[in-house]
Each structure stands twice: as C-alpha cells, then as structure tokens.
C-alpha cells in the first residue's frame, strides 16, 4: 500500500530524493535534500526539507477526493503562511502544490540522542526513560512547558486554533543549546476567536499530556497554563489579554467537566 502511495508522490515529484519519516492517517511525510527552486550551492551543509503529501483516497469519489485534498492542503499552507507572517514559530512555507496535495516546508526537528525526532513528546519520553525524577521536573523542563504554553497563548490571541494539539505536533528546535517549541500539522486548524474553541484546544493538549506522560502530567500541565497566562500579559495584548484569558479558562473548566461526565458514562 505504502509503495503505491510512494509511486503516486514520485509521479508528481520526479527525480526528487524522498526519505519517508512518518505515515499518518491522512498524510505521508518525507525528508528531502532538494529545495524546489534553490540549487545546492546556496543551501547550508546537509540541510534537509520536509515534504508533506496527502495521497488520493481510493474509497472516495474522485471529484470529492480532489476537493478535500485541495482544501486541506490550501488550509494548512494558509495557516503556516499566517504563522510565518506573525513570526510565530512554525516551519517556513517553501512551496505548495495544492492540486496534488503537496506542501514543501522547512525541516525543524533535530535528532535526540536515541535517534528520534525532537518532538515535545519524544523529548519528554526520552527524559522519562533516561533521566532521574529531578531531571524530568527540572527548571529546563519547566521552561520548555512554559514556552509551549506561551506559544499557544499567542496563537489564540491571534484568533488561531490549532485543532490537533498533541505533543507530537509540537517540535522542539535547538536554538544555541536551548529548546524552543514550534508548531506543526495544521490539517485541522481554523481561525476563531471563540473561547470555546480555544478551551477545547487546551483541553486536547492537557489530555494528551495526561495520557502519554502521566507521571509528571500535573506539573507539566500547570507550567503550560502559566505560560499560556503569560502570553495574555504581554504588552501587545494587554488591553484584551486579561478578559480573553478569564473567558478561556472559565470555558476550559466547563470543557473538563463535560469530558469527565462523558468518560463516566463510558
Ligand atoms: N516541518 C517539520 N519539521 C520536522 N519534522 C516534521 C515537520 N513536519 C512533520 N514532521 C514530522 O512528521 C510527523 C508527521 O507530520 P504531521 O504534519 O504531524 O502529519 P500527520 O497529520 O500525519 O500527523 C511529525 O510528528 C514530525 O515528526
Ligand atoms: Mg501530526
């Protein structure tokens, strides 16, 4: 099955080196050394790029399939472009072929010592497996959680909703030996100023942390929320920040309650 999809992408991108790094329900993600319009002498040594490809789905009617692929690809590229313009950490958009479901973007991750990509999830897992309890709850981890929360706060203050905030959709970039979070994967992202949408975004991340990093989840989540709050106190958002923060947190409590009721009912 995967081979068939790879043939599909090779048809659209002939002679491009492709190294598959992830296969999700909706997309395949490749690493490549090739830039679409910049030749090698202009690239940094060993610089790699990411190609995200949404293959056609044989079980969908071809016309509908084409429309869905096109609108999701455009949606994701637009979201990345808006983040790039705002200066919010995310991969730079390099090129987009929306008719064929292809987005070419900057590669943000580096490899952790165990070879896995530096997503927030892999990094926390790596610490939990290899480091002591003190290291898992160190000032460095607190700072990274705080920065993740602050980034989500800034996203929400710009009325942007991620839509799939899991710890694998947050990549840690290495900025002179300090980890800085960046967001990826905007297939479900939307533009909205509603407290409800922001609260659901936060709740999804809170649940992801509780289910995948359960031992220290309470600490991680409280640092995240401190960072989230701090974004609302920044000078540029001061006028609206406090009101927006209070609204979203109040909604978050409702959303948590709904979640608890739902899990009690099974
Ligand atoms: N720009 C990027 N830089 C580094 N790694 C990336 C990038 N985009 C995707 N990845 C890697 O590929 C994986 C899947 O990409 P993602 O956009 O999240 O697709 P999916 O919809 O399948 O989850 C990510 O979890 C990450 O490990
Ligand atoms: Mg993802």
215 CA to centre of ligand 1 in angstroms: 26
pLDDT at 176: 85
- The rounded percent of the chain whose pLDDT value lies above 90 is 79
Which CATH architecture is the domain 120-265 placed in? Orthogonal Bundle (1.10)
pLDDT at 228: 98
User: What is the rounded average pLDDT of the residues 41-56?
Assistant: 86
Closest C-alpha residue for ligand 1 atom 19: 185
Q: What is the CATH T-level fold of the domain 2-106, as seen in this structure?
A: Phosphorylase Kinase; domain 1 (3.30.200)
Residue scoring higher pLDDT (238 or 250): 250
- Residue 188 in contact with ligand 1 by CB distance below 6 A: no
pLDDT in tens, 88-98: 999 999 999 99
User: What is the rounded average pLDDT of the residues 231-256?
Assistant: 95
pLDDT at 260: 87
* Cα 136 from Cα 239, distance rounded (Å): 36
Closest CA to 169 of 145, 151, 187, 185: 185
- Residue 94 in contact with ligand 1 by CB distance below 6 A: no
pLDDT at 214: 77
Model confidence at 39, pLDDT cuts 50, 70, 90, reads confident
Angle at 129 between CA 114 and CA 144, to 5 degrees: 80
The ranges assigned to domains in the chain are 2-106, 120-265
53 CA to centre of ligand 2 in angstroms: 13
> Residue 41: pLDDT above 80?
no
- Residues designated as active site: 164
User: CB burial class (10 A; 0-12, 13-18, 19+) of residue 112?
Assistant: middle
Joined tokens for residue 14: 């002939």
User: What is the rounded average pLDDT of the residues 236-259?
Assistant: 95
Indicate the top mutation candidate among 2, 21, 22 to test ligand 1's pocket, ranked by most ligand atoms within 8 A of CB: 22
Sign (positive or negative) of CA dihedral 112, 114, 119, 122 = negative
User: What is the rounded average pLDDT of the residues 171-198?
Assistant: 96
């Amino acid at each position: 099955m995967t081979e068939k999809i790879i043939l599909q992408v090779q048809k659209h991108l002939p002679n491009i080196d492709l190294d598959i790094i992830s296969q999700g329900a909706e997309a395949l993600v490749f690493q490549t050394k090739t830039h679409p319009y910049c030749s090698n002498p202009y690239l940094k040594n060993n610089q790699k790029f990411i190609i995200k490809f949404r293959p056609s789905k044989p079980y969908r009617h071809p016309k509908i399939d084409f429309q869905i692929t096109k609108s999701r690809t455009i949606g994701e590229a637009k979201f990345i472009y808006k983040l790039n313009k705002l200066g919010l950490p995310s991969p730079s958009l390099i090129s987009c072929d929306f008719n064929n479901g292809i987005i070419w973007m900057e590669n943000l991750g580096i490899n952790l010592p165990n070879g896995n990509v530096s997503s927030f999830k892999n990094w926390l897992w790596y610490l939990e497996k290899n480091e002591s309890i003190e290291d898992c709850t160190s000032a460095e981890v607190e700072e990274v959680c705080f920065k993740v929360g602050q980034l989500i706060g800034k996203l929400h203050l710009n009325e942007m909703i991620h839509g799939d905030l899991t710890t694998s959709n947050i990549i840690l970039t290495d900025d002179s030996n300090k980890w800085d979070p960046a967001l990826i994967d905007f297939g479900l992202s939307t533009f909205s100023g509603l407290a409800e949408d922001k609260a659901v975004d936060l709740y999804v991340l809170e649940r992801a942390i509780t289910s995948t990093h359960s031992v220290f989840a309470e600490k991680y989540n409280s640092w995240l929320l401190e960072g989230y709050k701090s974004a609302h106190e920044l000078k540029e958002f001061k006028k609206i920040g406090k009101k927006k923060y209070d609204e979203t947190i109040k909604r978050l409590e409702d959303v948590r309650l709904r979640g608890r009721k739902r899990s009690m009912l099974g």
